[in-house]
Structure 1
Amino acid sequence: MADINRIGVAARYSDLVIHGNTAYFSGYVPETTLAGTVTEQTRDVLAQIEQSLTEIGSDKSKLLQATIWLSDMGSYDEMNAVWDAWVVPGHTPARACVEARLANPAYALEIQVTAAL
């Protein structure tokens, strides 16, 4: 049986859980662009995801699944313009995108991913 490695363990969640050759990430929210546009916040979140993937020896071509929560579905096209330029053609993950009230009203989106190592 494969070991389970939890990284960034907090009281309610872990930042990342690795089991076998699969990495399960917690949701990513904007860190440096809270006052920014949906485009800026999406770039911020995707840069964080890409950095985290690099740190564990993976990359965005190995994404298996993504869930995107938007605070306003009216920003769907704006977010997708950034997403479409970021993902690797032919290696896009399974994906869901929904509108939801997020933990901080300044967040335009949150993205959670699962990736292969």
Structure 2
Amino acid sequence: MTIERFSTNSRMSRIVKHNGTVYLCGQVAKDRNGDIQTQVIGMLEKVDDLLQSVGTDRTHILSATIYLADMEHFNALNEIWDNWIPEGYAPARACVQAQMASPELLVEISVIAATDG
């Protein structure tokens, strides 16, 4: 059994790859002080970059769990999400309200995606 870990420290790995599946650690916005739109866009850019780094992309996302600091941002999130996910490739998804690790964070995502190997 081969398990590959990328960008690993004592607490976590940014990516874990096993048996054709990649697991991303929770991704937050590039700009933690931006509004919800800025944070969602930056967060999804980071997801794209990480997926690309292991040879896959958003069309291979199997599951996404999204955490919002406040459900009042649900519609703004979905507006961006619906344009980001290619038509016909929507993953299984959950979206919940959660207390964030830092008060300026409005959104976080955890992604599981398929790869070719």
Q: Shorter-chain-normalised TM-score: which range?
A: over 0.9
TM-score (norm 2): 0.95
- Matching of residue 76 in structure 1 with residue 78 in structure 2: no
- Identity among equivalent positions (%) equals 37
Q: Give 1:57's aligned residue.
A: 55
CA RMSD of aligned residues (A): 0.8
- Alignment partners' CA distance in 2, 1:34 and 1:62: 27
| Secondary structure class of the residue paired with 1:35 | coil
Instruction: Quote the offset at 1:97 in angstroms.
Output: 0.2
Residue 14 of structure 1 deviates from its aligned partner by: 1.0
Which runs of 5 or more residues in structure 1 are unaligned? none
Tell me which residue corresponds to 2:24. Answer: 25
1:74 is paired with a residue of what secondary structure?
A: helix
Could you tell me how far 1:55 is from its partner in structure 2? 1.2
- The CA deviation string for residues 65-101 of structure 1, in whole angstroms up to 9 with x for no partner, is 0000000001000011011100011111100000000
| C-alpha distance in 1 between matches for 2:101 and 2:84 | 25
Amino acid at match of 1:6: R
User: Which one is further off, 5-14 or 45-54?
Assistant: 5-14
Q: Distance in 2 between matches of 1:19 and 1:35?
A: 34
Residue in 1 aligned with 2:102? 104
Find the residue that maps to 1:34 and give its secondary structure.
Answer: coil
Matched with 2:83 is 85
Give the number of aligned pairs: 115
